[in-house]
Amino acid sequence: MTSDSILIERHAVEPFLKNGYILSCSRTEQAIYIDPGDEASELLQRVDEKNLQLIAIVNTHAHMDHICGINTVKEKWDVPIHLHPEDEALYNALPKQAQWFGLKYPPAPPIDHHLQEGQELQVGDLRLKVHHTPGHSPGSVCLEVGKHTFCGDLIFAGSIGRTDLPGGSYETLMASIHEKLVPLGDEKILHPGHGPDTTIGHERKTNPFLTGS
């Protein structure tokens, strides 16, 4: 997807079909990797094909499927890793998370920078604003850039993120949606952690969890 100066590459693979994203500035060719998972090798090929310069790894949260590809990315691009501090304990427990699903992943590399509410990240000409949106996990964030928002597992097309994992809260998640996400406006394009893109307006009208908001 190309939008003005923004280029977005998305890919998902089994078993989790989790969306990984490469967001880049078309003028400067600087890029970040949002939520590296099992799709990392495929998306890194696209980085090479487009001659992009990866400058950071940014995570919307620290559940296993969103961080299990970070080692793959770091082996090729030694760039800083960004995560909200309230998910750092979860991040450091990647091998234990994998055990819950009968899988094995090595520990993730150390976090370099903590994301904070209202912080802005620069990617070439692009400015990403961080919104702390807990509920799916304590340190979940959304990343807003122009008319786009990368919303992790906060909300999906027609559904919302699960809240039955450690640190999850349905009430907190719904407050994050209504207080942080909905005010961004109906035209905002949402890029979720799973499934297709959608918009805030479409979800307000059709999502059974938001109908009437």
Q: pLDDT per residue over 133-187, tens digit each? A: 999 999 999 999 999 999 999 999 999 999 999 899 999 999 999 999 999 999 9
What's the half-sphere exposure (Cβ side, CA atoms, 13 Å) at 198?
24
What DSSP string describes the chain? -EETTEEEEEE--TTTTBPEEEEEETTT-EEEEES--TTHHHHHHHHHHTT-EEEEEE-S---HHHHTTHHHHHHH----EEE-GGGHHHHHTHHHHHHHTT---PPPPPP-EE--TT-EEEETTEEEEEEE--SSSTT-EEEEETTEEEEETSEETTEE----STT--HHHHHHHIIIIIGGG-TTPEEEESBS--EEHHHHHHH-TTTTT-
Q: How far apart are CA 116 and CA 132, in angstroms?
A: 7
pLDDT band per the 50, 70, 90 thresholds, residue 211 = confident
- What is the identity of the amino acid at 126? L
Burial 168-187 (b: 16+ CB within 10 A, else e): bbeebbbebbeebbbebeee
Q: How far apart are CA 169 and CA 27, in angstroms?
A: 41
| Residues 37 and 67 sit within 8 Å (Cβ to Cβ) | yes
**The CATH number of the domain covering residues in 2-206:** 3.60.15.10
What's residue 58's pLDDT? 98
pTM equals 0.96
Does residue 75 surpass a pLDDT of 90? Answer: yes
Average pLDDT over residues 76-94: 98
Does residue 103 surpass a pLDDT of 60? Answer: yes
What's residue 101's pLDDT? 87
Does residue 4 surpass a pLDDT of 90? Answer: no
Q: Two tokens at 196?
A: 């297709």
Does residue 82 surpass a pLDDT of 80? Answer: yes
Average pLDDT over residues 50-75: 98
Q: Two tokens at 13?
A: 């693979």
The three-state (H, E, C) secondary structure of 139-179, written as one string:
CCEEEEECCEEEEECCEECCEECCCCCCCCCHHHHHHHHHH
